[in-house]
Every structure is written in structure tokens, then in C-alpha cells.
């Protein structure tokens, strides 16, 4: 509770500094733009948080974004889908854009689920460290994205204007991405804080050995965490494609996993696992995207943006460690 209160205070101070930085900082347009970024990138922060709370990590999220965004662009813009090569290829004609959209979205989400399942199986049954599995995945998925397009950009061009307009205009004055994030956070809040599955996630992150001895299916919940993480990452990639309209296979999603992990940590999720709240996900996403907006308004060079975020993350991690030691001392 003290940690959550502390990051709320930090967010309030940060927001106050933003409002004092420039008269335009308090405008509706600036708030809308920041809200769009928080809503969009908050989806990825939630994905990172769901795997971090179990004591694991996924370094491949940025590359998964690149692969899924590339596949989304290819499927939506190609009237003919070709599967395989040579004599073993199958070509499917899909001339209707609405049909392509209806098929592409679940296909990309299923791809995300498959990636998460592979990660989970390697971590649980082959006992490969999550760091190594997802680090290797980071290279593999980026390479597949580049291979699928021959390293050429893809995107939506002028197609799907109504869907883009809906995403970018907002709902009742609220950024659409923020509305989507709030719905996802509400569902995740029920999952983590109300359901028995969420309690198992926290138990797994707090003490995996104790969770195993208490009868919890540790392998199942580890796999579930990776599947949820990669599925949300694929969903984020779809939103990203419609938002930015152009996908560069070698760069799409690059560094996004680090921002997502940083947002989760700043929101109170410990990299050791077993700690954090869904409210913290929202607060962390706000902090990680208000920071660069504030520095820009104060006239700080955007080249120093990573420095500001890195220092904020270091302070958050240091505070988390000090609070852990304090709680450990009190228990002793």
C-alpha cells in the first residue's frame, strides 16, 4: 500500500510539473495526445506486468510486435494469401477488405498465443530460463518479419479509413486507445485480484517452490502467463498498425519491450515477482509517457529522453528494493 501511495504521489508531482512547463501543456489537445499514447502503450505494459508478476520476463515483446504488425499489414493489403512455396503452396483469394480484416485479426491473435505457448513450454518443460528463451525469440521474430517482406516496408496506405478514424478520433472526447486500455485493465483486475487464477500468479511469483508444494500447477500458470503476455502483445501490434499506418519490419516495436517493462516496474511490479497491482499498470504507463512530454515542454532535448526515463526507472527500482528490505526487517 505504501508503494502504491508513493507512485501516486510521484505521478501527481510529475503531472504538476507538466502543467507548469508550458501554457499549452494543459490544453485538451495535449491531454488527448498523451492519453492516446498512454492507452496504446499501456496495453504492452499490461502484457509485461502479467508475466513479471509470476517472476518471469519476456524480452521478445518488441520483436513480436514487429512480426505481428508485419503479418497484419500483409494480410490486410494482399487480395491473395499464399501459404507455403513451390508445389506445396496454397493460394487463397480474399478480395473483400472486410473479410480480410475479419480473418486477419484472429489469425494474428492466434499467432501471439502460439508464440506465448512456445515460450511457456520451453521455460517449464525444458527448464530453459525465460531470459534466454525470450532473448532468442527477440532475434528470431525480428528475422522472420524481415524475411516475410524481403525487408520491405508494409502498411495500410489509405485502406480501412473508418477503422483508423475510429481509433484516432476518440469516444465521447476520450482517446479510443485509453478506452480500450481501461476495458483491458478492468478484465485484468478481475483476473488478478478477484479470481483464484490471479492468486496463483502472485503465489508463483512470491515463492515458486512453496506454490508447487501447495498443489498449484506451476507449469500451467507459467505457460498461461506467457500466452496472455504474447496475445496482448499481438493485440497491441494490431492497434499499432492501424495507428501508425506503416510497418518497417526491421524497426517496428523496437525497444517497446523495454518501455513496457519500465512502465510495469515504475507502476510497482517487482522483477522478482509476486508484487504489483492493476492500478499500478495504469500509473506506470502514465509515468513512462508523461515524462517525455514533460521534458519536451520544459525544452529538454529529446535526445535526453532515454536518460530521464532511465533515471526514473533506477529510482523506482531502488525504492522497491529499500521497501523490500524494510518489510523483511520488520518481519524478522
Each residue's pLDDT, cut to its tens digit, for the chain (332 residues) gives 566 777 888 888 888 888 887 788 888 898 999 999 999 999 999 999 999 999 999 999 999 999 999 999 999 988 877 766 656 666 777 888 888 999 999 999 999 999 999 999 999 999 999 999 999 999 999 999 999 888 888 888 888 899 899 998 889 889 999 999 999 999 999 999 999 999 999 999 999 999 999 999 999 999 999 999 999 999 999 999 999 998 999 989 888 998 899 899 888 888 888 888 999 999 999 988 888 888 878 777 777 777 877 887 787 677 766 766 776 666 55
So what's the pLDDT on residue 42? 95
- The DSSP H or E segment spanning 146 is helix 130-148
So what's the pLDDT on residue 331? 57
Does residue 43 sit within a domain? yes
| Nearest of 219, 248, 188 to residue 45 by alpha carbon | 188
Does residue 1 sit within a domain? no
Is this model's pTM higher than 0.85 or not?
A: yes
Does residue 191 sit within a domain? yes
Write down the residue that cell numbers 503452396 correspond to. 89
Report phi then psi at 4, rounded to 5: -65, -40
Does residue 10 sit within a domain? no
Does residue 313 sit within a domain? yes
- The DSSP H or E segment spanning 292 is helix 278-297
Residue 278 DSSP symbol: H
Does residue 316 sit within a domain? yes
Asked whether the beta carbons of 115 and 137 are under 8 A apart, the reply is yes
Say whether 93 sits in a helix, a strand or coil: strand
Domain with 263 in it: 30-324
| Nearest of 58, 196, 174 to residue 116 by alpha carbon | 58
What total number of domains does the chain contain?
1
Does residue 17 sit within a domain? no
Neighbour count for residue 175 (Cβ, 10 Å): 23
Question: Which residues are CB-contacts of 109 (< 8 A; sequence separation ≥ 6)?
Answer: 231, 234, 235, 238
So what's the pLDDT on residue 220? 96
Does residue 98 sit within a domain? yes
Amino acid at each position: 500500500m505504501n508503494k502504491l501511495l508513493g507512485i501516486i504521489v510521484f505521478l501527481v508531482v510529475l503531472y504538476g510539473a507538466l502543467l507548469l512547463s508550458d501554457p499549452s501543456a494543459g490544453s485538451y489537445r495535449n491531454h488527448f495526445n498523451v492519453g492516446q499514447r498512454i492507452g496504446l502503450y499501456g496495453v504492452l505494459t499490461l502484457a509485461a506486468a502479467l508475466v513479471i508478476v509470476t517472476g518471469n520476463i519476456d524480452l521478445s515483446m518488441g520483436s513480436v510486435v514487429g512480426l505481428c504488425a508485419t503479418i497484419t499489414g500483409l494480410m490486410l493489403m494482399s487480395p491473395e494469401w499464399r501459404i507455403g512455396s513451390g508445389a506445396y503452396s496454397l493460394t487463397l483469394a480474399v478480395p473483400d477488405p472486410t473479410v480480410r480484416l475479419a480473418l486477419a485479426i484472429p489469425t494474428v491473435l492466434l499467432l501471439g498465443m502460439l508464440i506465448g505457448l512456445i515460450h511457456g513450454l520451453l521455460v517449464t518443460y525444458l527448464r530453459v530460463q525465460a531470459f534466454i528463451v525470450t532473448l532468442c525469440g527477440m532475434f528470431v521474430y525480428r528475422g522472420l518479419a524481415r524475411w516475410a517482406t524481403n525487408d520491405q516496408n508494409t502498411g495500410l496506405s489509405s485502406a480501412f479509413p473508418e477503422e483508423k478514424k475510429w481509433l484516432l478520433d476518440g469516444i465521447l472526447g476520450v482517446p479510443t486507445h485509453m478506452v480500450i486500455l481501461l476495458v483491458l485493465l478492468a478484465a485484468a483486475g478481475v483476473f488478478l485480484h478477484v479470481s483464484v487464477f490471479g492468486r496463483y500468479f502472485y503465489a508463483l511469483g512470491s515463492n515458486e517452490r512453496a506454490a508447487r508444494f501447495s498443489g498449484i500447477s506451476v507449469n500451467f500458470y507459467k505457460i498461461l502467463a506467457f500466452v496472455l503476455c504474447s496475445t496482448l502483445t499481438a493485440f497491441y501490434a494490431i492497434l499499432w498498425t492501424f495507428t501508425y499506418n506503416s510497418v518497417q519490419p526491421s524497426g517496428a516495436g523496437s525497444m517497446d519491450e523495454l518501455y513496457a517493462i519500465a512502465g510495469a516496474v515504475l507502476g510497482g511490479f517487482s522483477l522478482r515477482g509476486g508484487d504489483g497491482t492493476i492500478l499500478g499498470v495504469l500509473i506506470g504507463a502514465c509515468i513512462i509517457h508523461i515524462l517525455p512530454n514533460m521534458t519536451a515542454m520544459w525544452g529538454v532535448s529529446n535526445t535526453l529522453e532515454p536518460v530521464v526515463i532511465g533515471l526514473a526507472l533506477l529510482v523506482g527500482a531502488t525504492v522497491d528494493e529499500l521497501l523490500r528490505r524494510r518489510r523483511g526487517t520488520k518481519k524478522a
